[in-house]
Amino acid sequence: MTRIPKRVALLLPFTLLVACASMPRGADREPDHQGGGDPLLAQAGIPHVVVAEAFLTPMTPKDNVDSPALWVGPDGKPLLLATAKATGRLMTYDGETGAALAAVGREGKGAGEFDRPNGIFTIDDLVFVVERDNRRVQVLRAPEMTPLGSFGQDALQQPYGIWLRRDGQGRYDVLVTDAYMQGEDANGNEILPPLSQLDRRLRRYRVEVGSAALHAQWVGNVGDVSAEGAIRIPESVWGDPAQDRLMIAEEDTRTGTRVREYDMSGRYRGRDVGAEYFKAQAEGIALWQCADGSGYWITTDQFKDRSLFHLWDRRSLTHVGAFAGQVVANTDGVWLHQGATARFPEGVFFAVHDDMGVGAFDWRDIAKALGLPRCPQ
């Protein structure tokens, strides 16, 4: 297996300085960016193992990379996609090596154009892209990335994350997080709405995709308004219909960052995950699932120096362990692919690295480091 060259790690401090100097201001600020010092894993004292990255994609600080997703073509070749918030396009990479391929789209408001793309989700031959500043979800058909249409622009205010599933009737049940706010304070920080107005933190749509177009219907909102269950700052969301479970990352560090458990209909279950473990900020979520109902949730703690990935038992939500890479840091979005590829026969986990690119972790390395058994046959 090819590992990260030592010179990459040695160049990292310089790369981070370039990233900071290149990062746009103003429009790049998000509700979870409240200033203050950046928490460091090196100072957190949290037990974890280290798993070496299988590869890192080329680093492109100007793009402000946010979230990854993998699409595998009929020929079995994996295409790694990632949203580029600052440049309004989709980055593409070889899913086996991380080599850069041609970017998709450009900044704009038309079909095939993007304005502040954040969340991304692939399913079948479709790519769903959430655009914060176009206030919509755009759908493309892979591998040509043909625009099929968009939805949500009549209601979404500040969308970020996305999760979806087939509904069994040829359509898709789509959930989109919406971090709408109430203006800004004197320091430029966005103001949280009152609890009574947090009932629309997730928007639910029923989407039907035809050969050349799509039809989307809004079917309801999700959001608890109690002090215990309300999501102040949402972004990452992932569902587990088999366990009737919806996991939503609460990114607000002022009230306590963690992952909240809802049921699939959108009711808060009264339980949070990770309040005692998250020391930086809860971010990307993924699910490793076995056919017998076992498996693991993977949640991200966004430390600036190296991201920490916690694993939780799929059924009980008890803590299983945690790992960090040698390089990957400051992670926003993640993506887990359980299928086999030529290089990753037992799956691969992708994590964005410091707004500049994507790191890949071979699932075999994760499982070995944490002593995870294979799915029962």
Show the tokens assigned to 50. Answer: 């280290």
**What are the extents of the domains in the chain?**
6-23+59-183+193-370
Residue 29 confidence (pLDDT): 64
Please say whether the beta carbons of 308 and 330 come within 8 A. no
Please say whether the beta carbons of 259 and 299 come within 8 A. yes
Containing H/E element for 363?
helix 363-370
C-alpha distances out from residue 135 to 41, 150, 169, 324, Å = 34, 10, 27, 34
Residue 75: CA atoms inside 13 Å, Cβ hemisphere, count?
A: 5
pLDDT along the chain (377 residues), means of 10: 39 40 49 73 97 98 98 96 98 98 97 98 98 98 96 97 94 98 89 96 97 92 96 97 97 95 96 96 97 97 98 98 98 97 98 98 98 92
DSSP E strands in 13-132: the ranges are 49-50, 55-56, 65-72, 78-84, 89-94, 106-107, 113-114, 117-123, 126-131
CA 283 – CA 64 distance, rounded (Å): 16
C-alpha distances out from residue 311 to 66, 150, 217, 229, Å = 21, 34, 35, 22
Tens of pLDDT, residue by residue over 2-34, are: 334 443 443 444 344 444 444 343 456 677 665
Phi/psi for 195 (5° steps) reads -55, -40
Please say whether the beta carbons of 290 and 376 come within 8 A. yes
Residue 151: CB atoms within 10 A of its CB come to 23
Tens of pLDDT, residue by residue over 259-299, are: 999 999 999 999 999 999 999 999 999 999 999 999 999 99
| Largest pairwise CA distance in the chain | 58
Show the tokens assigned to 295. Answer: 């498996």
Please say whether the beta carbons of 337 and 346 come within 8 A. no
Chain center to CA of 171: 23
Residue 189 confidence (pLDDT): 85
Containing H/E element for 8?
helix 6-22
Which CATH architecture is the domain 6-23+59-183+193-370 placed in? Answer: 6 Propeller (2.120)
* In the block, residue with structure tokens 């177009």: 213
Please say whether the beta carbons of 175 and 160 come within 8 A. no
